[in-house]
């Protein structure tokens, strides 16, 4: 009976996961997904073949405030897996990446940008994705004033005054600028951050890193820029209704993936499957507070690096020198 309950919850999680990618009804896709081993859903017991697991986590709050929450997850996973589990809280992603490269860290909770860089450098793979408001992604969007009739596509933003959120912002920079580069509207002459900055200066009348969604939208409302880049829900989340109606979405550029749980490339399939099974139990009502307290996510759903991060990683790669800036932006010691 316990195995059946676990399998049912996995299927529910996969259904939410597929919906987030627009893959339609689970019944239409489950056979092909299982056959091609995109998602492994098994009712058989998985064997953990290690004595201990070390899991990395970059905090969004002070490490000493996070420690009790991390200990709750440690205890939960130890009870589920029957081994010692240690959660480490370094101040930067470089430590996690090097730890995964040399086998000192077995898995880690990560934001999408650092996750892709870790995958590129170490071969680590995403096995779980964060579910937020029922989705595993959100849409990067181009915003302009409602009465501006000169901008109708992402390509139309070239040569305009634009506001990005930050140079490491996923929907506020990486997705729009990465798309402009990969689709040939902007060319970067060089292979470092200086070349990227030159491309920005050469292809926009002006560009500003506003610092946040709200600040970028406010520059647009004030007439300081023609375009603000951000998420599809940024206006309704950060602006009063009277200001929301002054804006219009030019176009949605594409999805930005949610945070992920990565595992070391050396982890065996049996240990990986057992860990995923344990993490899925964090979606149970009685355990969900552990996940929400530690990570702020509603649930974790099964995924793969290709399916979840997909071509978003290509945009990071296309923006020369950006990978190190992304890692530095999360460095809590700076």
Question: Is domain 2-135+258-329 given the CATH code 1.20.1250.20 in the classification?
Answer: no
Q: What is the 3-state secondary structure (H, E, C) of the chain?
A: CHHHHHHHHHHHHHHHHHHHCCCCCHHHHHHHHHHCCCCCCCCCCCCCCCCEEEEEECCCCCHHHHHHHHHHHHHHHHHHHCCEEEEECCCCHHHHHHHHHCCCCCEEEECHHHHHHHHHHHCCEEEEEEEECCECEEEEEEEEECCCCCCCCCHHHCCCEEEECCCCCHHHHHHHHHHHHHCCCCCCCCCCHHHHHHHHHHHCCEEEECCCHHHHHHHHHCCCCCEEEEECCHHHHHCCHHHHCCEEEEEEEEEEECCEEEECCCCCHHHHHHHHHHHHHHHCCCCHHHHHHHHCCCEEEECCHHHHCCCHHHHHHHCCCHHHHHHHHCCCCC
**Identical fold, 2-135+258-329 and 137-256:** yes
Task: Report pLDDT for 97.
Answer: 92
The stretch 192-215 carries a mean pLDDT of 95
Percent of the chain with pLDDT over 90: 64
Residue 48 in this model has a pLDDT that exceeds 70: yes
Give the residues across from 53 on adjacent strands.
85
Task: Report pLDDT for 42.
Answer: 47
Residue 18 in this model has a pLDDT that exceeds 60: no
What would the pLDDT profile of 166-188 be if each residue is shown by its tens digit?
898 889 999 999 999 999 999 99
Task: Report pLDDT for 133.
Answer: 78
Q: Which of 46-55, 125-134, 242-251 has the highest mean pLDDT?
A: 242-251
pTM of the complete model: 0.77
Please give the CATH number for the structural domain made up of 137-256. Answer: 3.40.190.10
What residues does each domain of the chain span? Answer: 2-135+258-329, 137-256
| Lowest mean pLDDT segment, chosen from 94-108, 144-158, 239-253, 320-334 | 320-334
The stretch 31-59 carries a mean pLDDT of 63
| Lowest mean pLDDT segment, chosen from 123-132, 278-287, 320-329 | 320-329
What would the pLDDT profile of 212-255 be if each residue is shown by its tens digit?
999 999 999 999 999 999 999 899 989 999 999 999 999 999 99
């Amino acid at each position: 009976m316990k195995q059946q309950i676990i399998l049912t919850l996995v299927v529910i999680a996969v259904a939410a996961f597929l919906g987030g990618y627009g893959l339609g009804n689970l019944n239409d896709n489950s056979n092909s997904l299982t056959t091609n081993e995109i998602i492994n859903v098994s009712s058989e017991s998985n064997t953990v073949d290690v004595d201990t697991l070390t899991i990395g986590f970059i905090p969004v709050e002070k490490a000493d405030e996070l420690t009790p929450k991390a200990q709750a997850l440690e205890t939960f996973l130890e009870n589920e897996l029957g081994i010692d589990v240690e959660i480490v809280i370094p101040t930067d992603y470089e430590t996690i990446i090097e730890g995964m490269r040399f086998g000192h860290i077995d898995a880690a909770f990560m934001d999408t940008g650092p996750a892709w860089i870790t995958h590129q450098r170490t071969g680590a793979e995403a096995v779980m994705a964060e579910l937020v408001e029922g989705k595993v992604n959100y849409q990067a969007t181009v915003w302009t004033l409602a009465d501006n009739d000169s901008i109708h596509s992402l390509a139309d933003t070239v040569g305009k005054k634009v506001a990005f959120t930050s140079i490491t912002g996923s929907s506020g920079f990486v997705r729009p600028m990465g798309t402009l580069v990969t689709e040939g509207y902007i060319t970067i002459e060089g292979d470092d951050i200086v070349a990227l900055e030159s491309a920005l200066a050469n292809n926009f009348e002006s560009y500003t890193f506003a610092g946040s969604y709200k600040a970028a939208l406010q520059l647009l409302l004030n007439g300081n820029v023609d375009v603000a880049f951000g998420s599809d829900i940024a206006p309704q989340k950060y602006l009063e209704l009277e200001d929301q109606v002054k804006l219009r979405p030019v176009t949605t550029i594409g999805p930005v993936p949610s945070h992920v749980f990565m595992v070391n490339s050396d982890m065996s399939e049996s240990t990986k499957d057992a860990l995923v099974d344990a993490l899925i139990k964090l979606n149970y009502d009685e355990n969900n507070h552990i996940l929400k307290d530690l990570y702020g996510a509603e649930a974790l759903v099964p995924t793969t690096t290709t399916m979840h991060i997909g071509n978003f990683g290509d945009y990071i790669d296309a923006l020369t020198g950006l990978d190190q800036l992304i890692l530095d932006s999360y460095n809590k010691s700076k």
